[in-house]
Structure 1
Amino acid sequence: MVFYFVSNVVSPPFKLFMGAEKHENEELIRWGWPEDVWFHVDKVSSAHGQTIEDVPYAVIEDAAQLVKANSINGNKMNNVDVVYTMWENLKKTPSMDVGQVSFHREKDVMKIRVEKRINEIVNRLNKTKTEEHPDFRLEREKRDAAERADQKKIMRERKEQEKVSQKQKMEEAELRSYASLMSSDKMTSNRDDGNDSDEFM
C-alpha cells in the first residue's frame, strides 16, 4: 500500500508518496524513476519523493515535515535532519535490511533541519492523502518502454535529417563543380556529319 499526498504550496503542485511500511518503501527504492527525489529522516527510520534544484524550498519543507511526521522515532524528536537525494543516487546492496539504503555519492545528498513538527503543514498534506496499490515494477517498465520508443523515434528522425542534409550537400557540390556540365547527355558534337570540308562557310 502506498500513500499519495499533494503539496500544493506551489503551482503546479508536487506529488509526494510513501510506502505504508518498509516493504512498500523497498519497492519504491527498487523501481523509482530517475527524476524522483528521495527523502528520509537521517539516521532513524522514516517515510520517503526533476532534479533537486527544480524542487521549490516550500515543497522540500512539506516533504521533510511529512517524513518526520511518519517516522516512528523522528516524530517524537525535535531538531532532526532529513536527508534527500535523487533516486539514482540510492545504493542498495543484498546485505542491507529491507528499506535500508546508502548512497553512491555522499556529496549529492542534501540535508534540511526540521526543528519541530508543524501540524498545520502535516494536516494540510494529510487532507490530500490517498491510498493506492500500484505495481511499481509495471509502471517503471511501461515508462522505460515509452522512453525507449521516444529515443528510437528521435534516432530515426535524426537519421532522416542526416540523409536529407547529405543529399543537399551532394547536390550543392555537384552544382559547384563542372562535373554536371561534362555529362554525355549534355554534350553536343562539333562534327559536321561526314562533310570533310575544312571550310566554315
Structure 2
Amino acid sequence: MVFYYKARPDAGDYTIYMGADKNENEELIKYGLPEDVWFHVDKVSSAHVYLRLRKGESVDSISDGLLEDCAQLVKAHSIQGNKMNNVEVVYTPWSNLKKGPSMDVGQVGFHNPRLVYVLTVEKRVNEILNRLNKTRVERRPDLKAEKDASNAAEKAERKMQLKDKKRRGEMERQEKERQAEIRSYKGLMIAEKMTSNRQIASAGKSMQEVEDDFV
C-alpha cells in the first residue's frame, strides 16, 4: 500500500507519497524514479517520504513551502520524531540512495554524502498535516510497471533527441557546403579573372579562337 498526498496548491501540482511499512519502503527504494526526492527523519526511524519533481527540476528548485509539507509529513510519521521539537530531516535525490546486501529492510545509505541536505523542523504543525491528510489516497501501484514505463519513455526521448541532433548536424553540414560553394563561385566571378568581349576583340581573336584555345 502506498499513500499519496497533494502538496499545497500554491507550490504547484506536486505529489508526495510514502509506503505503509518497511517492506513497502523497500519497493519504493528499488523502483524510484529520477524525479524523486527522498525524505527521512535523521538518526531515528520514520516513514520514507518521497516528493516527485517535474522533469528537469532539481533538489535546489524545491520551494520552502514544498519542503515544509514533506518535512512535516515525515516528522509526523516517526514515532520518536513526532514527539520531539527541532527535529532534523534529511533529504536527497532518489538516485543518491545506496542499498547494500547487508542492510536491513528499509535501511539505506548514500552514494555521495555531499548530496544529502538537512532541514530543521521546529515543531509539528497540525494545520499542514490536516490539509495533507484530506488529500490522501491509498493505492496498490505496480511500481515495477511504472518504472519500466518511465525507462521506456526516457529511452524514446533520448532516441528522438539523438535523431534531432543528427538532423541538425546534417543541415549544418549542408549549409556549410552551400556557403563554400557560394564563396567558390564568387571567386570565379572576380572581374580581374574574367575576359570581356572587348578584351577579346582588342586581342584580335574571335570567340571561336578563344574557345579553341581554352579547349
How far, CA to CA, are the matches of 2:6 and 2:186 in structure 1?
Answer: 68
How far, CA to CA, are the matches of 1:88 and 1:96 in structure 2?
Answer: 17
- The more displaced of 38-47 and 9-18 is 9-18
What TM-score, normalized to structure 1? 0.84
Paired residues of 1:3 and 1:19 also in contact (CA < 8 A): yes
Number of the residue aligned with 1:36: 36
Task: Give the ranges of 4+ consecutive aligned residues of structure 1 lying more than 6 Å apart after TM superposition.
Answer: none
Residue from 169, 175, 184 that aligns with 1:177: 184
In percent, how many aligned pairs have the same letter? 52
Shift of 1:155: 1.0
How far, CA to CA, are the matches of 1:11 and 1:67 in structure 2?
Answer: 18
Paired residues of 2:3 and 2:18 also in contact (CA < 8 A): yes
Residue from 67, 71, 74 that aligns with 1:67: 74
Paired residues of 1:9 and 1:59 also in contact (CA < 8 A): no
Shift of 1:191: 4.6
Residue from 88, 99, 107 that aligns with 1:92: 99
How far, CA to CA, are the matches of 1:100 and 1:86 in structure 2?
Answer: 16
Number of the residue aligned with 2:4: 4
How far, CA to CA, are the matches of 2:172 and 2:9 in structure 1?
Answer: 48
What TM-score, normalized to structure 2? 0.79
The answer for unaligned runs of 5 or more in structure 1 is 182-189, 193-201
Shift of 1:12: 1.6
Cα RMSD, aligned residues only = 2.3
Residue from 136, 153, 157 that aligns with 1:150: 157
The answer for unaligned runs of 5 or more in structure 2 is 51-56, 189-206, 210-215
Number of the residue aligned with 1:115: 122
Number of the residue aligned with 1:131: 138
Shift of 1:106: 1.5
SS in 2 for 1:97: coil
